[in-house]
């Protein structure tokens, strides 16, 4: 399935409309449904939540700037 990934954008295409987790440079983890992204890897999430040791904070729709993202991965449900 992942053998045809030539560019990072190809990998994000496979995650379109799926629940993902984003690890950010400020050590924050955000999860949500990947709705869209652009060439700069700016990411639009729906049902976004921030995961912390204290619990979960819900945001709804969230736009995350691409240069703050360290890692994007699919959340297995």
Question: For the chain, what are the domain ranges?
Answer: 8-74
Residue 53 scores a pLDDT above 90: no
Residue 21 scores a pLDDT above 80: yes
Helix count and strand count (H, E) for the chain: 1, 5
CATH topology of domain 8-74: SH3 type barrels. (2.30.30)
- pTM beyond 0.85: yes
Residue with tokens 């990072």: 8
**What pLDDT does 3 receive?**
59
**What pLDDT does 2 receive?**
55
- How, if at all, do strands 19-24 and 43-52 pair? unpaired
């Amino acid at each position: 399935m992942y053998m045809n990934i030539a560019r990072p954008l190809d990998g994000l295409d496979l995650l379109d409309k799926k629940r993902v987790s984003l690890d950010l440079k400020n050590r924050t983890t955000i999860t949500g449904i990947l709705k869209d992204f652009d060439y700069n890897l700016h990411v639009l999430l729906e049902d976004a939540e921030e995961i912390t040791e204290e619990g979960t904070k819900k945001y709804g729709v969230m736009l995350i700037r691409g240069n703050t993202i360290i890692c994007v991965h699919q959340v297995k449900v």
